[in-house]
């Protein structure tokens, strides 16, 4: 693994570094580029602006790994509030959820029950929910819960991370189900036994997954695909697949505050674009993983931290 990426991922889980970096005003100013605010109202304002430019959105309230049933219930109710507000304001927006926010560390049964509460509300409003994929110890449990929930709620998707060595096999198992899949590269610290350490290998696997999802049997199953990346090579590959197969249900997904001109260009040339809007007070680990994920983000941070560089 790239040593800078490894350091940033270590910092993401470090209470000491969290205390240092969250105490710097410059950090908050940089984070504001990627996180439109700490409140749902601020996030919804960002969604309205995106919708006005022809882009869809996904709301991602930041947080993970609750340790009590009460906190899991609170996290679940927060997701429900988001869905209710989206419906009330008639926004083109869905929701990304983390199972650890709904109690996965307390038991699969708790997380599944809470997820189903969220999915019931989403179904009532005709909306869609995507289960985020977390670090490797959660992958099997996440897939298991997704399979159980989808029996009752078809409008639930999930995420596959191309840096995990297992992911192509997971895709092979998901293709027959017609799953709605968001493809990302992955941003957690993993051992080389579990994940590809070389960027080229991660990119190659990402493209291999996209190619598999564009094969006739996958297309015939109707699975929607989200190409979640800011990498120009990945985007161009996705465009070629969409154009060659005239595929509906594929879209590009990008993070709020990154690649705005690229987002506009894709919309103007007829592609569907969805922007991932994260918000909340628990931004530190998310922000550090974004720095590790994309060197341009780290450069942006350092330029603000060290104005003379």
Select which of 130, 182, 290, 294 is catalytic. 182
Select which of 5, 105, 130, 132 is catalytic. 132
User: Nearest CA to 292 among 199, 164, 228?
Assistant: 199
Residue 182 is among the residues annotated as catalytic for this protein? yes
Q: What's the token pair of residue 89? A: 């304001």
Does residue 256 contact residue 45 with C-beta atoms inside 8 Å? no
Q: Which residues have CB under 8 Å from 197's CB, separation 6+?
A: 1
Residue 239 is among the residues annotated as catalytic for this protein? no
Between the alpha carbon of residue 207 and those of residues 162, 180, 183, the distances in Å are: 9, 17, 10
Residue 133 DSSP label: P
Q: What's the token pair of residue 207? A: 């493209």
Active site residues: 132, 182
């Amino acid at each position: 693994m790239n040593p800078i990426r490894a350091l940033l991922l270590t910092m993401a889980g470090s209470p000491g570094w969290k205390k240092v970096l969250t105490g710097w005003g410059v950090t908050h100013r940089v984070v504001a580029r990627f996180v439109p605010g700490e409140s749902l109202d601020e996030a919804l304002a960002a969604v309205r602006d995106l919708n006005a430019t022809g882009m869809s959105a996904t709301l991602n309230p930041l947080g993970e790994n609750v340790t009590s049933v009460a906190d899991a219930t609170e996290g679940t109710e927060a997701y429900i509030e988001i869905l209710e507000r989206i419906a009330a304001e008639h926004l083109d927006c869905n929701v990304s959820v983390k199972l650890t926010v709904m109690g996965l560390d307390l038991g699969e049964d708790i997380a599944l029950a809470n997820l189903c509460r969220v999915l019931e509300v989403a179904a009532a409003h005709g909306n869609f929910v995507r289960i985020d994929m977390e670090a490797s110890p959660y992958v099997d449990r996440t897939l298991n819960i997704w399979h159980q929930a989808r029996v009752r709620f078809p409008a639930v998707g999930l995420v596959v991370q191309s840096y995990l060595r297992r992911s192509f096999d997971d895709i092979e198992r998901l293709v027959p189900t017609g799953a709605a899949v968001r493809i990302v590269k992955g941003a957690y610290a993993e051992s080389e036994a579990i994940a590809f350490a070389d960027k080229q290998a991660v990119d190659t696997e990402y493209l291999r997954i996209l190619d598999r999802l564009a094969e006739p049997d996958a297309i015939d199953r109707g699975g929607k695909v989200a190409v979640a990346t800011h990498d120009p090579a990945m985007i161009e590959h996705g465009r070629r697949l969409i154009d060659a197969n005239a595929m509906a249900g594929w879209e590009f997904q990008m993070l709020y505050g990154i690649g705005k001109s690229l987002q506009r260009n894709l919309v103007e040339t007829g592609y569907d674009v969805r922007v991932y809007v994260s918000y909340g007070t628990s931004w530190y680990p998310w922000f550090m993983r974004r720095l590790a994920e994309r060197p341009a983000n780290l450069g942006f941070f350092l330029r603000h931290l060290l104005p003379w560089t």
